[in-house]
Amino acid sequence: RAKSAGGNRYEVADAEADARAITRHGLTTALPMALDRSEFFIEYQPLVHLEDGTVRGAEALVRWLHPQHGVLGPDRFIPLAERTGLIVPLGRWVLEQSVRQAREWQERHRDKLGAGPLRVNVNLSPCQLTHPGLVQDTVDILERAGLEPDTLCLEVTESALIGADDEVLKPLRRLAEMGVDIALDDFGTGYSNLANLRRLPVSVLKLDRSFTQGMQQFPADPVDLRIVEGIVSLAHSLDLTVTVEGVETGAQAEQLRILGCDTAQGWYYARPGPPERLHDLALVDATG
């Protein structure tokens, strides 16, 4: 009996694995066409200044409106795009759209706000980093849109830069020299040597959501608090700005503000949404 039950379970697991493989295969074949068919779109999630609560910009997060499967999150298709090479044109498209969007926010805001320009953060995959066109593409996109380089921030994960040699860092250095901010995304998950930070052309640390989760209770776990406190003070001593991801409650926001974090992002403020909404949120904060 045990054997047949085991056999059944195996069949079920197998069927699920098959279904997943079929979906993955289907997505992989549909992916190259999706860009031409304009099935991708971008949602923007506000970046909020922790001290005064104003919206300072937003992170661009790509989605795929699949004709059969509905809206798919990046975790479903970015790995496939990386494997097939589509990530290079897709990433370029995301950058171009986001830079144009930032330019539009700025135009609508110019006369209304005394605050600085709204900035935009765009994620880069490791494949884009090693692609020879990165610097020139970025320069062209910024110029075409008429956006100042210092209102763009490119996010690169910590794991993409671990052990990166000078060849890989060179394009990022060029971009940083032009004034583009480079953020180290998901910081704290990649076991990187803290001293290594000095070598990287980054100006922003994005503290991974796992740290924010540790701040859920009030008061938070004292060890968690001290770890974040240490990272923040190290980051500030290296002239880096600290952004925290995954802020879901007011208690978390308050703890992280007390710990000296600069900027926050998370559902507590807003879920990722259409670009018009960022404009409205920024206006509300500035006037109310």
Binder among 44, 45, 182, 264 for ligand C2E (CB under 6 A)? 45
Angle (CA) 190 58 213, round 5°: 45
- What mask of x and - would describe binding to Mg ion in positions 101 to 130, judged by CB under 5 A? ----------------------x-------
Binding flag, residue 248, ligand C2E (CB under 6 A):
yes
Binder among 96, 158, 186, 224 for Mg ion (CB under 5 A)? 186
Nearer Cβ to Mg ion, position 121 or 255? 121
**Neighbouring C-beta atoms of residue 241, cutoff 10 Å:** 17
Nearer Cβ to ligand C2E, position 180 or 247? 247
Nearer Cβ to ligand C2E, position 260 or 273? 273
**Which structure tokens are listed for 266?**
């998370």
Binding flag, residue 78, ligand C2E (CB under 6 A):
yes
Binding flag, residue 133, ligand C2E (CB under 6 A):
no
Binder among 97, 101, 106, 123 for ligand C2E (CB under 6 A)? 123
**Which structure tokens are listed for 249?**
């409650």
Residues paired with residue 156 on neighbouring β-strands, in sequence order: 184
Q: Of the listed pieces 22-30, 141-149, 226-234, 240-248, which binds ligand C2E according to CB under 6 A?
A: 240-248
Binding flag, residue 261, ligand C2E (CB under 6 A):
no
Q: Of the listed pieces 25-33, 130-138, 241-249, 278-286, which binds ligand C2E according to CB under 6 A?
A: 241-249
Binding flag, residue 201, ligand C2E (CB under 6 A):
no
- 61 closest CA partner among 82, 80, 47: 47
Binding flag, residue 181, Mg ion (CB under 5 A):
no
Binder among 96, 158, 181, 245 for ligand C2E (CB under 6 A)? 245
